[in-house]
Chain A
Amino acid sequence: MPFIPHTEEDVAAMLATIGAGSIDALFEEIPPDLRAGPLTGIPPALSEMEIGRLMQARAQADGQALCFIGAGAYDHHVPAAVWQIASRGEFYSAYTPYQAEASQGTLQLLYEFQSLMTALTGLDVSNASLYDGASALAEAVLMAVRANRKAKAHRVLIPRALHPSYRRAVHSIVHNQGIELVEVPFDRAGGHTPVEQAQAAAGDQGFAALVIAQPNFFGVLEEVDALTDWAQAQGALVIGAVNPVALALLKPPGAWGAKGADIACGEGQPLGMPLASGGPYLGILCCKQGLVRQLPGRIVGRTLDLDGKPGFTLTLQAREQHIRRSKATSNICTNQGLLVTAATIHLALLGAEGLARVAAACHANTRRLSALLCEIPGVEPLFNRPVFHEQALRLPAPAADLLRSLAAHNILGGYDLGLDYPELDPTLLVCATETRTEEDMLAYAAKMARVIATRTQARCPVEPKFS
Chain B
Amino acid sequence: MSTVPAELKYSKSHEWVQDNGDGIVTVGITDHAQEALGDLVFVELPEVGRKVGVEEACAVVESVKAASDIYSPLSGEVTEVNAELVDAPETINQDPYAGGWIFKLRLADPAELSALLDADGYAQVAAEG
A residues neighboring B (CB under 8 Å): 149, 293, 318-319, 323-324, 327
Beta-carbon contact of B47 and A318 below 8 Å: no
Beta-carbon contact of A293 and B62 below 8 Å: yes
Beta-carbon contact of A319 and B62 below 8 Å: yes
Q: How far is the CB of A241 from chain B (nearest CB, A)?
A: 27
B interface secondary structure, majority: strand
Beta-carbon contact of A323 and B47 below 8 Å: no
Beta-carbon contact of B69 and A318 below 8 Å: no
Beta-carbon contact of B67 and A149 below 8 Å: no
- Asked whether any CB of chain A lies closer than 8 Å to the CB of B66, the reply is yes
B residues neighboring A (CB under 8 Å): 42, 44, 47, 62-67, 69
Residues of the A chain whose Cβ atoms lie less than 8 Å from the Cβ of B63: 318
CA distance A272 to B44 in the complex (A): 39
Choice from B42, B64, B65 contacting A293 with Cβ under 8 Å: B42
Choice from A149, A293, A323, A327 contacting B69 with Cβ under 8 Å: A327
Q: How far is the CB of A331 from chain B (nearest CB, A)?
A: 16
Residues of the A chain whose Cβ atoms lie less than 8 Å from the Cβ of B65: 318, 323
Q: How far is the CB of A185 from chain B (nearest CB, A)?
A: 34
CA distance A324 to B64 in the complex (A): 13
Residues of the B chain whose Cβ atoms lie less than 8 Å from the Cβ of A324: 66-67
Interface-centre pick from A149, A318, A319, A324 (highest chain B CB count, 10 A): A318
Residues of the A chain whose Cβ atoms lie less than 8 Å from the Cβ of B47: 149
A292 to chain B: closest residue by CB: B42
CA distance A348 to B63 in the complex (A): 36
CA distance A329 to B71 in the complex (A): 19
Interface-centre pick from B44, B65, B67, B69 (highest chain A CB count, 10 A): B67
CA distance A319 to B67 in the complex (A): 6
Residues of the A chain whose Cβ atoms lie less than 8 Å from the Cβ of B69: 327
Residues of the A chain whose Cβ atoms lie less than 8 Å from the Cβ of B64: 318
Residues of the B chain whose Cβ atoms lie less than 8 Å from the Cβ of A318: 62-67
B42 to chain A: closest residue by CB: A293
Q: How far is the CB of A323 from chain B (nearest CB, A)?
A: 5
Q: How far is the CB of A124 from chain B (nearest CB, A)?
A: 16
B41 to chain A: closest residue by CB: A318
Given contacts A293-B62, A323-B67, 8 further A-B contacts (CB under 8 A): A149-B47, A293-B42, A318-B63, A318-B64, A318-B67, A323-B66, A324-B66, A327-B69
User: What are the 8 tightest A-B residue pairs by CB atom distance, in nearest-first order?
Assistant: A318-B67, A318-B62, A323-B66, A319-B67, A318-B66, A324-B67, A149-B47, A293-B42
Q: How far is the CB of B59 from chain A (nearest CB, A)?
A: 12
CA distance A327 to B62 in the complex (A): 13
CA distance A149 to B42 in the complex (A): 17
Q: How far is the CB of A420 from chain B (nearest CB, A)?
A: 40
CA distance A1 to B64 in the complex (A): 46
Residues of the B chain whose Cβ atoms lie less than 8 Å from the Cβ of A323: 65-67
Name 9 A/B residue pairs within 8 A (Cβ), A-sorted.
Answer: A293-B42, A293-B44, A318-B62, A318-B65, A318-B66, A319-B62, A323-B66, A323-B67, A327-B69
CA distance A46 to B66 in the complex (A): 49
Q: How far is the CB of B42 from chain A (nearest CB, A)?
A: 6
Residues of the B chain whose Cβ atoms lie less than 8 Å from the Cβ of A293: 42, 44, 62
CA distance A323 to B60 in the complex (A): 13
A324 to chain B: closest residue by CB: B67
Q: How far is the CB of B120 from chain A (nearest CB, A)?
A: 32
Q: How far is the CB of A137 from chain B (nearest CB, A)?
A: 24
A328 to chain B: closest residue by CB: B67
Q: How far is the CB of A152 from chain B (nearest CB, A)?
A: 9
Q: How far is the CB of B38 from chain A (nearest CB, A)?
A: 11
CA distance A323 to B47 in the complex (A): 24
CA distance A318 to B42 in the complex (A): 10
CA distance A323 to B42 in the complex (A): 15
CA distance A323 to B44 in the complex (A): 17
A320 to chain B: closest residue by CB: B67
A319 to chain B: closest residue by CB: B67
Q: How far is the CB of A343 from chain B (nearest CB, A)?
A: 30
CA distance A293 to B66 in the complex (A): 12
Q: How far is the CB of A201 from chain B (nearest CB, A)?
A: 27
Residues of the A chain whose Cβ atoms lie less than 8 Å from the Cβ of B62: 293, 318-319
CA distance A200 to B102 in the complex (A): 41
B50 to chain A: closest residue by CB: A149
Residues of the B chain whose Cβ atoms lie less than 8 Å from the Cβ of A319: 62, 67
CA distance A412 to B100 in the complex (A): 65
Q: How far is the CB of A58 from chain B (nearest CB, A)?
A: 49
A150 to chain B: closest residue by CB: B47
B44 to chain A: closest residue by CB: A293
Q: How far is the CB of A21 from chain B (nearest CB, A)?
A: 37
Q: How far is the CB of B67 from chain A (nearest CB, A)?
A: 4
Q: How far is the CB of A150 from chain B (nearest CB, A)?
A: 8
CA distance A141 to B64 in the complex (A): 26
